[in-house]
């Protein structure tokens, strides 16, 4: 009896002294393993007489159960201590602000956003998007658009001319996106409904002009296109873009070499408090130019003006972005200032749609 008591006290002491899982496993093997001290005692039961087995069996089995229970309890204590230690080491300060991911930290440039808005509006009316090169020939930029030789727009103060090639031809940085209309009419059979957004270049630089700017033009060519259709398209565009229920417009006679008749379009607005609001007020603001495609332009593209006709319009993307989103100066559009972009930019997931709202 005294031997079992001494062995039990010794084993329980070792269990409590085990400082980690490995040390505790070593104690378990030494006590309850195949060749452990308690296992050896259990093996002796087979050689005892029935009377000895009846007396010693419960004592040895009780020793085994108490050692096993002590080991289990100690293992749980060690696991709890390890978890507590890990929680202390890996503690997170939940009071700190969460860092934004790129999908929320990034910003879409207002020009890109407005191009997406234009595309959404005109796509709903059945227009496709057409594109062309930034470097154009004199023919596509001027001649095909009915600019006569000697027209002021051909002069150096308006146009960036490139060095002459070996044939003496001087290409230009396009001064408008109208060459895309020429290329479209030459490559596509009517009916045609396209918008042509893109970069354009002119000698000009101040608060509302830059040497490189963005323009969008629209073109419709078919047998029955007329001024009434053009008026409806432009009214629907202005209502959708400026997100107003009604807009009042006026068409003033003007001159463009590539349209006849031609008009400048003003829309009604309010300028109270230094803020421009559309769809209300008694002021007027010029917004775009438009007109019926000149018969000479149709002929230059291989189209018969007695068979088809059309209308076109054009406006500055940078300008309408400034008007819609209250930007006072055009130059920061091109200065790559992240502070400006964070203020005026759009979240990457703010995709314009006519259902959800263009600037929701």
Residue 355 has a pLDDT of 56
Residue 326 has a pLDDT of 81
The angle that helices 227-242 and 317-325 make with each other, rounded to 10 degrees, is 40
Return d(Cα 262, Cα 233) in angstroms, integer.
16
**Which stretch, 20-29, 93-102, 244-253, has highest mean pLDDT?**
244-253
Return d(Cα 176, Cα 198) in angstroms, integer.
9
Q: Is the pTM of this model over 0.75?
A: no
Count of CB atoms situated within 10 Å of the CB of 271: 13
Token pair for 43 = 């093996």
pLDDT tens digits for range 186-208: 999 999 999 999 999 987 766 66
Note the CATH architecture for domain 108-344: 2-Layer Sandwich (3.30)
Please classify residue 4 by burial: count the beta carbons closer than 10 Å to its beta carbon, then call 0-12 exposed, 13-18 middle and 19+ buried.
middle
Percent of the chain beyond pLDDT 70? 93
Tokens 């159960």 found at: 65
Residue 156 has a pLDDT of 56
Residue 157 has a pLDDT of 58
Residue 173 has a pLDDT of 92
pLDDT at 236 over 90: yes
pLDDT at 128 over 80: yes
**Which stretch, 16-25, 58-67, 110-119, 274-283, has highest mean pLDDT?**
110-119
pLDDT tens digits for range 314-334: 999 998 888 888 887 888 888
pLDDT tens digits for range 1-11: 567 778 778 87
Q: Find residue 222's DSSP bridge partners.
A: 309
Return d(Cα 61, Cα 38) in angstroms, integer.
9
Return d(Cα 293, Cα 145) in angstroms, integer.
10
**Which stretch, 20-34, 55-69, 234-248, has highest mean pLDDT?**
234-248
Token pair for 144 = 């095909």
What's the farthest any 2 CA atoms get from each other in the chain? 132
CB 249 within 8 A of CB 235: yes
Between 314 and 45, residue with greater pLDDT? 314
| Closest to 30 in 3D by CA, of 19, 18, 22, 39 | 39
Residue 207 has a pLDDT of 60
CB 259 within 8 A of CB 333: no
Query: How does the average pLDDT of the chain come out, rounded?
Result: 85
Percent of the chain beyond pLDDT 90? 38
Return d(Cα 261, Cα 227) in angstroms, integer.
9
Residue 296 has a pLDDT of 95
**What number is the average pLDDT over the span 71-77?**
87
For the CA atoms of 224, 230, 236, 241, the dihedral, rounded to the nearest 10 degrees, stands at 130
Return d(Cα 165, Cα 299) in angstroms, integer.
28
| Strand extents, DSSP E, 180-308 | 192-201, 212-222, 249-256, 259-270, 277-278, 283-293
Calculate the CA 165 to chain-centre distance: 41
**What number is the average pLDDT over the span 164-189?**
91
CB 24 within 8 A of CB 71: yes
Residue 2 has a pLDDT of 63
Residue 14 has a pLDDT of 84
Residue 119 has a pLDDT of 93
């Amino acid at each position: 009896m005294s031997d079992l008591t001494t062995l039990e006290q010794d084993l329980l002491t070792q269990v409590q002294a085990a400082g980690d899982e490995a040390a505790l496993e070593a104690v378990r093997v030494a006590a309850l393993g195949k060749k452990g001290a308690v296992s050896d005692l259990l093996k002796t039961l087979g050689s005892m007489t029935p009377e000895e087995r009846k007396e010693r069996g419960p004592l040895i089995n009780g020793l085994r159960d108490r050692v096993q229970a002590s080991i289990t309890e100690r293992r749980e204590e060690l696991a709890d201590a390890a978890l507590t230690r890990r929680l202390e080491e890996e503690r997170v300060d939940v009071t700190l602000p969460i860092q934004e991911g790129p999908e929320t930290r990034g910003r879409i440039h207002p020009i890109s956003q407005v191009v997406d808005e234009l595309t959404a509006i005109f796509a709903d009316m059945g227009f496709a998007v057409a594109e062309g090169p930034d470097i154009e020939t004199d023919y596509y930029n001027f001649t095909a658009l009915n600019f006569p030789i000697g027209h002021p727009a051909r002069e150096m103060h308006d146009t960036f001319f490139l060095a002459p090639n070996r044939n003496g031809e001087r290409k230009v940085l396009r001064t408008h996106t109208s060459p895309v209309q020429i290329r479209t009419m030459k490559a596509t059979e009517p009916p045609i409904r396209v918008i042509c957004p893109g970069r354009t270049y002119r000698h000009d630089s101040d608060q509302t002009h830059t040497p490189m700017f963005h323009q969008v033009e629209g073109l419709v060519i078919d047998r029955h296109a007329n001024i009434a259709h053009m008026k409806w398209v432009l009214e629907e565009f202005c209502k959708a873009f400026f997100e107003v229920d009604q807009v009042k417009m006026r068409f003033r006679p003007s001159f463009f070499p590539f349209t006849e008749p031609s008009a400048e379009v003003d829309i009604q607005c309010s300028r109270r408090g230094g803020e421009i609001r559309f769809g209300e007020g008694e002021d007027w603001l010029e917004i775009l130019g438009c007109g019926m495609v000149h018969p000479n332009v149709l002929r230059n593209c291989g189209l018969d003006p007695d068979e088809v006709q059309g209308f076109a319009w054009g406006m500055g993307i940078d300008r309408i972005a400034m008007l819609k989103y209250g930007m006072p100066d055009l130059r920061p559009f091109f200065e790559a200032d992240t502070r400006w972009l964070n203020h005026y930019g759009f979240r990457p997931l703010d995709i314009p749609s006519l259902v959800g709202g263009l600037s929701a």
